[in-house]
Structure formats: structure tokens, C-alpha cells
Amino acid sequence: MSTFLRAVKNNIPEKEKSELSESDLKKWGLEAIHLRFYQVDGVRWLSQCMKNQQGCILGDEMGLGKTCQTISLLVYARGCLKMNGPFLVLCPLSVLENWRQELERFCPSLSVICYTGDKERRAELQKELRNDQRFHVLLTTYEMCLKDARYLKSWKWKILVVDEAHRLKNQESLLHQTLKEFTVGFRVLLTGTPIQNNLQEVYSLLAFIQPSLFLPEAAEDFVSAYADVQTEPALADELHRVLQPFLLRRVKAEVAAELPKKTDLLVFHGLSALQKRYYKAILMRDLDAFRTDQNTRTRLLNILMQLRKCVDHPYLFDGVEPEPFEMGEHLVKASGKLSLLDTMLSYLQEGGHRVLLFSQMTRMLDILQDYLEYRGYSYERLDGSVRGEERNLAIKNFSSKDVFIFLLSTKAGGVGMNLTAADTVIFVDSDFNPQNDLQAAARAHRIGQTRPVKVIRLLGRDTVEEIIYSRAVSKLRLTDTVIEEGRFSLLDQAQSAASGLQLSEILKFGVDKLLSSEESSIQDVDLRLILGQSRDGRWLTDEEHAKLDEEHAKLNESDEEEDEDLEGQHHMYYFEGKDYSKDPSADDEKTFELLLEKQFADLEDAGKEGRALRNKAGVSLSGPLIDPERKKRPLTESELEQRRQKRQEAAAKRAKLHEERKKQQEELNYKKKMAWWESCGYKSLCLPQVDSEGEDIESDEDEDDVVSCSSTDSDHTAIRYMLGDVTHPQADQEDAIIVHCVDDSGHWGRGGLFTALERRSDEPKKQYELAGNMEDLELGNVLLFPIDDKQSRLSGRDYLALIVAQQRDKANNLSGIRLTALDEGLKKIYRDAKQKNASVHLPRIGHSTKGFNWYGTERLIRKHLATKGISTFIYYYKRAPSSSSTVSSTTCTSTPSTSHSASDPAASSPSGSSSTIGNSEDLTKTPEPSTMSHECQGSPGLADFMRGVHVYFYNMAATEKKKLARYLITYDGDEEDLMSSHVTHIVGEVENPVHAQELRDLLHQYPQTLLVKKKWLESCFANQRKVSVSKYVIRLT
């Protein structure tokens, strides 16, 4: 008997049978939940641990309700043991809100404090807690705990709960060391994966929950005492008895048999020709890593990661995606994995399923997001960069709305969340640690799920993904065996066996078959056979598939003779008569050696011919290949000069050749596009390019016209500001052109002017999306077409001009208005308006967009339209508080006389008449509400209470600045990138004397500017009005 077992037997008494019942818990405050039998048993076990031990581990499988069992324990502690706290609960940020909601729902009598927020907010909370300590539970995250450890240590916690406690598996970690210093009565660790890697990690958890028995310095003794647990059953039984008092683990198969079935599927895919070329290039990039045994592990791991990226999608490498970066079918066809996923998602959507889509890499999530946008699938996204409220909103949207896909990173989306709205889980790539994938899959297969769940894993055939998954499966299989038998050996020997296969051999796996052909190995698949059938969004059960199985059995009768061999061949690595499960085949080794020989021969040739290898076919990755070092003769000054001249000449020739090729390629692409359009019967609605020479002549003539007009009637060249709906322009007898700016994605927007235009006509969405499908949405293009199909005027036609003035990047981020594209578009509209003798009607272009620059926008409108004699109207849409869908258009007039000051109310014209608020010379800025007539001021107001506020942000975090600026612009304020006389407010934080001095200098230079705290902006936004700054002014001492 080891000293560890002896210590446990002497110090931890046997647990007594507990009479604790659910009715007792209800009496003490538990409500709104019915505990299952095993959950009541779990609460009893926890209560017994509290009597005899310093802590315990609740290790139930993910989805069995560890949270509600823990809340029941707190209810028991308060109701039966008369503990009024304080209790400390630590959890990941992603599940903080879930903990708060469940505490509030299951036991509202427990008062809960959520200890989160910025430094200022936490300081306020600390002050409140010092003044009033009447709370039961303090709920916070690991990060907040580490930041404010000094304050939290000052409390005496009755119970400490650590959710996702595998964060404590390293006893040298900062979190482990910090929490050990807390004064705690009882410790509860919650983890669905209590066993992951080795004995050292188990001891770390034991040392945390029972520090009096498991001393930190005894870790090595524990590991050595049970090192042979795999081969000695008696030792395994002893280890089980050591752990038994501290660990409780149940699995779904034992205690939640009523849960719908979960089916795991492996679906293989081929690689595109592009992926194969990169796969070969990556293997050949660092040849020495395969030729030496010393100090190569890091280099081989880097190769492994590059190969995994290649199997996911070649666009993960910079410079691979063809320019210009536009979404199209090339995104799907470039990757075998995405080609399969494309087919699969279409099948799943038709069947009414909802999907959790996991990947290891956030850049792969970016590509998947681009793809989902391109296909028009509804989705939410959650990864490590999504914080706080946005996380909770994404989860809530997916759970409550009809969203098809939830895009998640395995690490960020794999803990604590309940996503039972999904019935299909897809792993685009696998984690090295299989427990992380299990955690992720458990988001859907857990208590509350009412439909069968399918977990689908995509694997690249004959790639490193296969061998990685093989190692993970063997590790997971052994882990399950150990847990079920109570043998917590934690895979020490399994790991050493796995590591016996060298990294270099793993990288060679499948090379023979994969590179036997350079052509794409992507194949069409019958997903109905692979995934099974579904009805009304529910996967069919085994019984419902029984008839299909009988038919398949008949087809397989001819193979009965081979049944004896099949037992050893029913695994993923038996393929086309070969067993790939153990190591690379002889053909793999031979093929790889041939590749090496060829590559070294190329290197020798490259050494003779100069640095030309990077341009050779077959090596398509950038980056130097290792070349044997050799001494070079130093060049003379004249030789250096001669080399410089040759390089300059060569560079000039290359630039000229590149420009010629580019021009030729553009002409070729244009011809191809025209042929494509002709074959599709598509006729572009884009206005033609403006001839620069002709435009100059027209401009000269127009300037003469403008001079003559302005000398007699200044209103002729004014921009007229209207209150009303731009989709119903106030035009007399002439034609009217409505202008709207769109992006180049080809996906029609929702809300605002997009919805208003859809109500007016069916054409805008139809023509815009058609142009997107036909790749006819380049920046600066203008689509022009009539929109009188639903409503029309008695005289004159209404046209819509869509200017492509915004871009969407690969991550689906929308740019602000590109003024160069707007400039080009307005030129085209001027020419067409002049030909049609039409007026032009615009909303406030770019309002609330990123980097909104109204002054630059207004100048362009005046330059290309108003000053050239085109009747130009800019509309302000006033939203009525009633549910009325139509707001009548009313114009507001200000007499263009200097007798009125800016603050004087202007005289109003009769309703429906068209006149200007001010002439073009008065309108150097957006008209203030005070310049409008009393009649207009009586109309419902825009959310423009920040108008006239120009903010310069000083010493603000980028994320905070971005958030505040977005709200500021939304409410008609402006952000200034540079300090100038335009700035009305400096919003900043003063953290040291240097900041204070810099701000003094700025205020001295611009005395009209106010220095305020960011809370002033937050207060304005919260109250929906510009509040007084008196409480928020920063005083510099």
C-alpha cells in the first residue's frame, strides 16, 4: 500500500448514506427545475464531501447538468448548514451569463453579484461590497480573478467553485498559484474532461482540492508510484481507491439513456490540384528537417501546421488568392474540404437541419464566413475575439431565431454553452486533443436536446489529417477505458507509443497516393447514403432506416467470404487494400525519398545557375530553401555599380513587361466577360465611362452656364434640403433620378433605404443581385434603371441609380464610402441627368458609415450636380413615432437673405412647394435644425442630438474608441482623427503627468475645446440627448 492510499484511508472517512431529497432542496429555495435521479445523487455526494474533505471534483460528462447540481449544493449550504456565503464562482467569460441566468432562475433567493467590467466599474463594485456585504454569490471570470486577486484574497470564501477546471491541471500556472492563496472552506472543481494527458495533471487537481494530503513537492513521488499502472492491475486498483473519494463521474450512456442518439461520422474528401501543388511544396520547403535528427522538432511541427492549413484551404497562405479579392466560385473550388462542405450544407438546409460549424483556426473561420455570405446562408459567429454582450447576443440569436449555422472556434465555442437548437455538428478540422472536440460536440448533445444528433468530421484523404485523427482516436479510446475501469492511468504509455512514430514519418503519411497525380481528387458524393435521411428537420432513427439496411445487406451478400478479414479492416485506415493505421507505407517512404532526391538535385542546379529555384515549377511557396553555405568572392566597387545598373534595367524591363501583360490580361478578361454575358443573355445596366476629354469641354461650357445663372438666380445652383422619403421624390413634370450607394458584394441589404426601395419597386433588389451574379459591380459603376413598376407619377419617370461606392472584405467587413468611387459615379449621373433633363434626389449619403465624411460628400454633390445646373435634392427622413409606414414629404424654406442669422427661424413656404434651405454658398456645412421652419421643427425629429459635436479621442483603447465613435457618428456627430479648430470635445483618459501636460498644451492651443470623460458620451447615448458636460469635465491640476 502506497503512502498516498494510506493517507487517504487514515484521513478521509467513508461517506455515509445521505437522506437528502429534492423536496428538501425545494424547501430551502430551489425552484423552476426538476432534478433527475443522478443529479440528486450528485448533490448528496457533494454534501458528503463537504463534511469530510477540503474539496472534490464533479467530473460528469458534458451536458449532464453540473451547473444545476452545483447550484443545488449552494442551496443546501445556505438552507441546511446555515451558510450565508460568501460563495465564489469562477468560470470562462463565454458562460458567465449562463451562470447568472441559472442562479437567478433556479434560486432567486440567492443574491448574486457579477464582478465584471472595466477598472472603474470594478472599483465601484468593491466600494459597494465594502459598504454592504449582504450577498451570497460572487460570480466572475478567471481573468478578473487574476487582475483583482489582491482584493478577492481579502475575503473568506465558504465555497469556491471553479467551472471548466482543467484550467488548473498545471500546478505551476498563475491561476493555480493565485487560487491556492485564497482563504476557502470547500473547493468544487467542475470539468467534463477530468482526464486529459498524464498523472502529473491529475495530481495537480488533487493538490488543489486536498492540499493537506497531496503536497506540491510530492508530485514526482505520485507519478513514479503509479507509473506502471497500465501493466499492473493491482496498482491500477489502488490508484482507483486513491481517487474514488474525490472524483464523481457519470456518462450519458449510463444515466441519460433517454437522450436522443448521437452518431459520429467520418467523411473523407480529396484535394484540389492547387492544394496538391502546395502540399508538395510545403514538404520540400525545409529539406534539412528530414535529414537530421537534432533540433528539428520545431521545424517539423511548423511543417505539420502548414500542411494542415493547406488541407483546410490554400487561401490561408498569403498571396494565393487571385486578385482582385472578390467572392466567387473560386473560393469553393480551390479547396476539396470546402467543396464537400458546400454540397453538405445545401443538403442539410434542404432537410431543415441546423448546424454548429467548428474550426481550429480563426483565419479559416474568416474564409468560411466569406463563403456563407456568398451562398447567402444565415449565420452567427463566435470566436476568441468576440466579447461580452456580443457573445450572449450571438448565442441568443441562434437559439431563438431561425439561423442556419453557428460558426465557432473549437476553443472559444467548446465550453459551457447550451446550443441544443442545432442537431448537426461539423468539425472542419480536428483538435490535437480529442477532449476539446468532445467538449465542442457536447454543446448540441446534452440535456434538453429533443432530436438525434449527428457529429460529422471532415478529413482529407491521404493527408496528415488522417494520421493525426488516428492518434487522437487511440488516445481517446484508452482514456474512456481507463475511466470506465477506474484506472486513471492517463495515457502515459499511450503517449510514449504514439511519440515512437517520428514526426517526420507522420508528415510522410499518404504521400504515395496523394501525389501520384497532380490532378484534383475531389469527387461527388451521395450524402443521402453517407449522412442518412431526415424528415421534417429530424434525422431518421435506426428503425426507420431498417428497410434501407436490408437492401444494402442483399448487395453485400457476395462479400460473405471476406467476413473473417473485415474485423481488422473496419477502421478508417484500411483503404483500397492497404492498412495505413500504423505508419507510412513503404510506397510512401519510397515516394518521399524520390521527391527529396529530385529536390536536392534542383538545389545543386540552382547553386550553379543562380537564385532561380523560387521560380521553378513545383515550388510555389515563397520563402528561402536552405542551401549549403559557400564562400563568395567580395565584389569590387565597379562590379557593384555594374550589378546595380543591371538590376535597375532588369527591374524596369520587368515593370514594363508586367504592365503590358496586365493590360493584355484585362483585355482578355473583358472579352471573356462579354462572351459570358452574351451567352447568358445579360445586358449591363451600368452607365458608360465618362470620356475625360469630353468631360473637360463640357465642364468649361457648364461653368459659363453656371456663371450666367448665378448672376440672375442663385437658387438655380443650390442644393435643396427636403424633409421626406427619397424613394418618393418631389419632382414636378421632369424625370427624377434617385441615388443610393451600395457595396460590391451583390447581396441586397436589409432595413433603412434598402427596405424602402423594395417597397417602392421589385427592380432594385432584382437588378442589383443579378449584376452581382454577373460580376458587374466594380467600384465606381452606376446601375441605372426605372422603378415605376409598382407606383408611378402622372408625368415624368422615376429612375434609380445605384453607385457602387463601398467594398466588403474577406471577413465581410464593410468599408466606408469611397469618395473616389462616389466622384466617378456622380460624374456619370450628371451626364445622364443632363441628357434626360432630370432632377437628382439623394439621401444623406454615407450617414452612419465607417469614416463618414459629409463635408467631402456634399462638396462632390455640389461640384458634379448642383453647380452644373442639375436640380439636386437631399432628403432627411423623419421617423414618425406612430406605426405609419409613409411619411409625407415637406420642404422647409429659409429665405436666402443675410438678414437672418443662423439661429433665426426661417420663413416657411406652403406645404409641398420646393425651395431651398439655403443657397450653395451658405451650405458649407449640414443645415442645423434651427435653420428650419417652425413647421418642420414640429415634425418628429431624427436621432441627431450629437450634431455639431466633433470629438478627438485621446489615450483611448482602440476597441473602446471604435465603439464610441460608431455611436457618435450614428447620432450625427463626427470623429476627428487630427486635433484642429473643428474639435469641440476631447474625450480621453489621463493616466500620468505626461498625458496631463500634453492635454494642457492642446487646451492652450485650442481654448474653445472641452476636455471630458468618456462617460459624457455614454450618458448622452443612454439618455438620447446631449447632456450637460459639467459633471464630466476633466480638471487638470
What percentage of residues in the chain have a pLDDT greater than 70? 69
CA separation for the pair 974, 951 (Å, rounded): 6
Residues 816 and 669 in one domain: no
Minimum mean pLDDT range among 573-577, 852-856, 966-970: 573-577
Residues 722 and 827 in one domain: yes
3-state secondary structure of 914: coil
- ω into residue 927 within 30 of 0, thus cis? no
CA separation for the pair 921, 789 (Å, rounded): 38
Q: Which of 581-590, 597-606, 712-721 has the highest mean pLDDT?
A: 712-721
CA separation for the pair 932, 934 (Å, rounded): 7
Helix, strand and coil in the chain, % to nearest 5: 45, 15, 40
Residues 241 and 312 in one domain: no
Nearest to 360 by CA among 400, 405, 305, 402: 305
Residue showing cell 502515459:
492
Domain limits for position 990: 950-1023
**Cell triple for residue 1029?**
458636460
* Among candidate residues 501, 535, 569, the one where a domain is terminated: 535
Is 76 contained in some domain?
yes
Which secondary-structure segment (H or E) carries 738? strand 736-743
CA separation for the pair 914, 888 (Å, rounded): 14
Query: Using 50, 70 and 90 to split pLDDT, how confident is the model at 979?
Result: confident
CATH number assigned to the domain comprising residue 229: 3.40.50.10810
Residues 282 and 353 in one domain: yes
Q: What's the confidence (pLDDT) of residue 867?
A: 86
Q: What's the confidence (pLDDT) of residue 297?
A: 64
CATH number assigned to the domain comprising residue 971: 3.40.50.10190
pLDDT at 707 over 80: no
* Among candidate residues 535, 560, 585, the one where a domain is terminated: 535
* Among candidate residues 681, 704, 733, the one where a domain is terminated: 681
- ω into residue 896 within 30 of 0, thus cis? no
Interhelix angle 273-285/297-312, rounded to 10 degrees, is 170
3-state secondary structure of 288: helix
Query: Using 50, 70 and 90 to split pLDDT, how confident is the model at 521?
Result: low
CA separation for the pair 865, 801 (Å, rounded): 14
CA separation for the pair 746, 25 (Å, rounded): 58
CA separation for the pair 891, 895 (Å, rounded): 13
CA separation for the pair 487, 194 (Å, rounded): 13
CA separation for the pair 985, 952 (Å, rounded): 6
CA separation for the pair 707, 438 (Å, rounded): 76
Q: Give CA torsion, residues 692, 696, 698, 704, to 10 deg.
A: 160
Let me know: does 799 contact 785? Beta carbons within 8 Å.
yes
> For 481-491, what is each residue's pLDDT tens digit?
444 454 332 33
Residues 900 and 954 in one domain: no
Residues 155 and 281 in one domain: no
Let me know: does 786 contact 776? Beta carbons within 8 Å.
no
Show Cβ contacts of residue 314 under 8 Å, excluding neighbours closer than 6 positions.
272, 274, 275, 278, 320, 334, 335
Pairing of strands 782-786, 798-806: antiparallel
CA separation for the pair 732, 720 (Å, rounded): 14
> For 879-890, what is each residue's pLDDT tens digit?
554 433 333 333
> For 109-142, what is each residue's pLDDT tens digit?
888 889 888 888 888 888 888 877 778 999 999 8
pLDDT at 710 over 50: no
Q: What's the confidence (pLDDT) of residue 827?
A: 92
Cα–Cα distances (Å) from 328 to 173, 331, 371, 602, 681, in that order, read 46, 6, 9, 37, 20
Is 560 contained in some domain?
no
Is 593 contained in some domain?
no
Range 709-729 average pLDDT: 66
Q: Is the dihedral of CA 157, 158, 161, 162 positive or negative?
A: positive
What are the helix (H) ranges across 314-382? 330-333, 336-350, 362-375
CA separation for the pair 912, 71 (Å, rounded): 66
Residue showing cell 479559416:
364
Residues 28 and 55 in one domain: yes
Q: How many residues appear in the chain?
A: 1037
Is 346 contained in some domain?
yes
Residues 332 and 358 in one domain: yes
Q: What's the confidence (pLDDT) of residue 800?
A: 94
Burial class of 700 by CB neighbour count within 10 A (0 to 12, 13 to 18, 19+): exposed
Burial class of 443 by CB neighbour count within 10 A (0 to 12, 13 to 18, 19+): buried
Is the pLDDT higher at 430 or at 521?
430
Integer-rounded Cα Rg, in Å, for the chain is 35
CA separation for the pair 168, 182 (Å, rounded): 15
Residues 973 and 897 in one domain: no
Query: Using 50, 70 and 90 to split pLDDT, how confident is the model at 711?
Result: very low
Please, which residues bridge with residue 1012 across strands?
Answer: 987, 1033
**Cell triple for residue 116?**
465584471
Residues 894 and 1005 in one domain: no
Nearest to 189 by CA among 198, 200, 197, 201: 201
Show Cβ contacts of residue 211 under 8 Å, excluding neighbours closer than 6 positions.
54, 180
Is 323 contained in some domain?
yes
CA separation for the pair 541, 533 (Å, rounded): 9
Is the pLDDT higher at 486 or at 920?
486
Q: Give CA torsion, residues 713, 716, 720, 726, to 10 deg.
A: 150
Is 663 contained in some domain?
yes
Minimum mean pLDDT range among 513-522, 909-918, 1000-1009: 909-918
> For 45-88, what is each residue's pLDDT tens digit?
898 888 888 889 898 877 788 899 999 999 999 888 888 879 99
End-to-end CA distance of the chain: 71
Q: Around Cβ 476, how many Cβ atoms within 10 Å?
A: 16
What percentage of residues in the chain have a pLDDT greater than 90? 11
Is 619 contained in some domain?
no
Residues 234 and 298 in one domain: no
Residues 892 and 831 in one domain: yes
Query: Using 50, 70 and 90 to split pLDDT, how confident is the model at 552?
Result: low
Interhelix angle 362-375/336-350, rounded to 10 degrees, is 50
Is 694 contained in some domain?
no
Minimum mean pLDDT range among 182-191, 440-449, 485-494: 485-494
CATH number assigned to the domain comprising residue 828: 3.40.220.10
What are the helix (H) ranges across 571-636? 586-609
Q: Which of 228-232, 267-271, 583-587 has the highest mean pLDDT?
A: 267-271
pLDDT at 462 over 70: yes
Please, which residues bridge with residue 459 across strands?
Answer: 268
Range 1009-1017 average pLDDT: 92
Please, which residues bridge with residue 55 across strands?
Answer: 187
What are the helix (H) ranges across 623-775? 637-680, 692-712, 752-760, 763-773
Q: What's the confidence (pLDDT) of residue 487?
A: 38
pLDDT at 381 over 70: yes
> For 825-840, what is each residue's pLDDT tens digit?
999 999 999 999 999 9
Q: What's the confidence (pLDDT) of residue 969?
A: 80
CA separation for the pair 946, 969 (Å, rounded): 8
Count of domains in the chain? 5
